[in-house]
Chain A
Amino acid sequence: MGTVEEFADTTSESRLERGVEYLQQNSRTYLLIAPAAIFLLSVVGYPIIETFRLSLYESPADSSVETYVGIQHYVEIFSSDIFYQLLWQTGRWVVVGVAGKTLLGLLIAVHLKGDIKGRKFFRTAFLIPWGIPYAISAVVFRWIEHPQYGYINAVLLKLGIIDEGIGILGNPDIAWLGVIVADIWIGTPFMAIIFLAGLQSIPQELYEAAAIDGAERWHQFRYITLPQLKSVILIATLLSTIWTFVSFDTIWTMTRGGPINTTSTLVIWIYQVGLENGNLGRGAAFSVIGFFFLLAFAIVYLRVYTRGGEEL
């Protein structure tokens, strides 16, 4: 069988010939990969190209007429106020969301780490919010935050903090907090489970040695747990950043980006403009901008993931 090394040795004249030969020798290998590769190229690769192309056209969803407009969409986007509003709101959404998920996840993991009775029960219970439809979690949070009948208002009323029910999701100043609470709730279990697995892989001797030295619990956390958990935290927050950035179902079910676009993010806007308003070209241009953000995240992730030239 031809190997990679043999191929690399080839002189340039016979490279094509050798290439064909190499493919023939390894035809079985490539045939097994082909279905998956072709599938991904057509279902993910082709729409990417299509998105780039569409972003240069005026293309209403309800007609087949497309008009070439060049970079007009991009020019208009970069000179619009809404774009900068979306950037700020997306940044706020991601930073607060990821921070909340990380801290709450860490808190849960630290408490689940030890020799806990019924750990399987706790772990399963903590997992559930992650595994049910986001749309369902979103309607439940809408219900909890309901101005008249919701629990949050009931508690605030009882405590005498407010005199009458407030509509959290209807208030442009605080609606985003009402939505992000739901998103943090949904995203926390993943962090907790990952951190728990990371914590369990820390050698117990480290803690024993520290205990003998009389280290306080906080110091053990600061000088053993955190450094040992560093790479796990890095990968988990990176993944969480990507998922929070592209969070759609939750926001769309709770507010559709409203009121007056204050809970909208870049990806909500893609959907709003491209599919709700039926302006495919403009939506595609926003998608392309989204691609570059994802690409940046992906590069960082791959760097971290394949660090040190480790074999795949």
Chain B
Amino acid sequence: MTMAGQQRTWLRKVRLYGMLIALLGIMMFPFYAMFSSTLKTESEIFSSPATLLPEDATIEAYLLVWSQTDVLLWIANSFLISIATVVLTLILAIPAAYSCARNDFIGKRTFLLSVLVVQMFAPVVLIVGLFDVITTFGLFNSYLAVIIPAAAFTLPFNVWMLYGYFKTIPVSLEESARIDGAEQWQILTKIVLPLTKPALVASVTYTFLYAWNRLLFVLTFLTDAGKYNVPRGVFSMVGALQTDWRMMLTASVIGIIPLLILFAFLEEYIVSGMTAGAVKE
């Protein structure tokens, strides 16, 4: 390569990484604003104009949030709601997806397309009707009032994700197991599901995040503060007249730590889940 050519490639690299870092800076700035504010002293965080770096960093706010708010309870509730939603969704989605992948039957297309339509039926548009149903069945203020709607709105993604994946598993594998005398149940749990792991992880992560992150159902169906999840807990710290910003931002940081850990480990699966359906190979 000529000197000029080398220089051009080098320049292009600088431009590319420069742009990437600039974009990353924009996208990360809110996190920076959140995190740096939690390390400031009370007098510094409420000074104008805002300082970019904490002048004398302190973890005082974390100790206060730890002792004075229910942030741990919110995290525990978020776990409970998310795990229950994942279990319920999988119990419903696995048999349905498997049945659709393995059989041809009347109503299959209708079923799969209706499921897709549900995915588009955002819960907020349904919230008045749901409220009526939840109160009629006496579920108001119970965890189920949050778990059931969350499962309904994550079910479509799960069915489609698993359906698509089950189809790629050769039937011959199952047939040979059947010849060896395996029961249908064993074939599903011992052969099919282990091979479906990527789709299962993507589905579980999607459902988990959905149930963890949504404010709407908890805001509407739970008034008992002891059952709040992370978003609802943070929301409750927004005061009508005054907000203790330092405490609220600190609780937010603590509330997203479990998610950051999840991302670090499962990023590949999250990405494959997001792109399924939108990008056809």
Contacts from A to B (Cβ < 8 Å): 3-4, 7, 22, 26, 28-30, 32-33, 35-37, 39-40, 43-44, 46-51, 54, 61, 107-108, 111-112, 114, 116, 120, 122-129, 131-137, 139-144, 146, 148-151, 153-154, 157-158, 165, 185, 188-190, 193-194, 197-198, 201, 231-232, 235-236, 239, 242-243, 245-246, 248-249, 252-253, 267, 270-271, 274-275, 280, 283-284, 287, 290-291, 294, 297-298, 301-302, 305-306, 312
Contact = CB atoms under 8 A, between A and B. Distances in A.
Interface of B: 16, 19-20, 23-24, 27-31, 33-34, 37, 45-50, 52, 91-93, 95-96, 98-100, 103-106, 108-109, 111-118, 120-122, 124-133, 148-149, 151-153, 155, 159, 209, 212-216, 219-220, 230-232, 234-235, 237-238, 245, 248-249, 252, 255-256, 259-260, 262-264, 267, 270-271, 274-275, 277-281
Given A4-B104, A124-B267, A287-B125, A188 B27 contact: yes
Contacts of A194: 274-275, 278-279
Given A43-B149, A54-B132, A139-B235, 5 more contacts: A136-B234, A140-B31, A151-B52, A197-B275, A301-B116
Nearest to A148: B48
B95 A32 contact: yes
Contact of A122 (B24, B33, B249): B24
A294 B24 contact: no
14 contacts: A49-B129, A54-B128, A124-B264, A127-B263, A133-B213, A133-B255, A134-B231, A139-B234, A139-B238, A198-B278, A267-B125, A271-B127, A284-B129, A301-B116
Contacts of A236: 278
Nearest to A155: B49
B13 to A, nearest CB: 9
B24 A302 contact: no
A135 B236 CA distance: 10
A112 B21 CA distance: 11
Contacts of B237: 139
A279 B179 CA distance: 62
A306 B112 CA distance: 12
A36 B133 CA distance: 18
Contacts of B120: 242, 294, 297-298, 301
Given A194-B275, A297-B120, A133 B92 contact: no
Given A148-B48, A270-B127, A47 B133 contact: yes
Contacts of A144: 29-30, 33
A33 B34 contact: no
Nearest to A199: B279
B49 A193 contact: no
A29 B279 contact: no
Contact of A271 (B33, B104, B124, B255): B124
B271 A193 contact: yes
Contacts of A36: 92-93, 95-96, 115, 155, 159
B27 A30 contact: no
Contacts, number: 286
Contact of B127 (A44, A190, A275): A275
Nearest to A112: B20
Given A40-B114, A236-B278, A298-B117, A135 B231 contact: yes
A48, A128, A143, most chain B CB atoms within 10 A: A143
A49 B112 CA distance: 21
A133 B278 contact: no
B50, B133, B260, B264, most chain A CB atoms within 10 A: B50
Contact of B96 (A33, A146, A150, A301): A33
A193 B159 contact: no
Contacts of A107: 23
A150 B120 CA distance: 36
Given A125-B28, A136-B256, A139-B238, A120 B267 contact: yes
A18 B150 CA distance: 39
B232 to A, nearest CB: 8
| 4 A-B pairs closest in CB distance | A47-B129, A246-B122, A154-B49, A51-B129
A57 to B, nearest CB: 11
Contacts of B133: 43, 46-47, 50
A187 to B, nearest CB: 12
B127 A274 contact: yes
Contacts of B27: 108, 125-126, 129, 185, 188-189
A103 B120 CA distance: 23
A4 B110 CA distance: 14
Contact of B30 (A133, A141, A157): A141
Contact of B49 (A29, A135, A158, A301): A158
Contact of B259 (A4, A131, A287): A131
B231 A51 contact: no
Contacts of B220: 275
A287 B126 contact: yes
B23 A108 contact: yes
Nearest to A135: B231
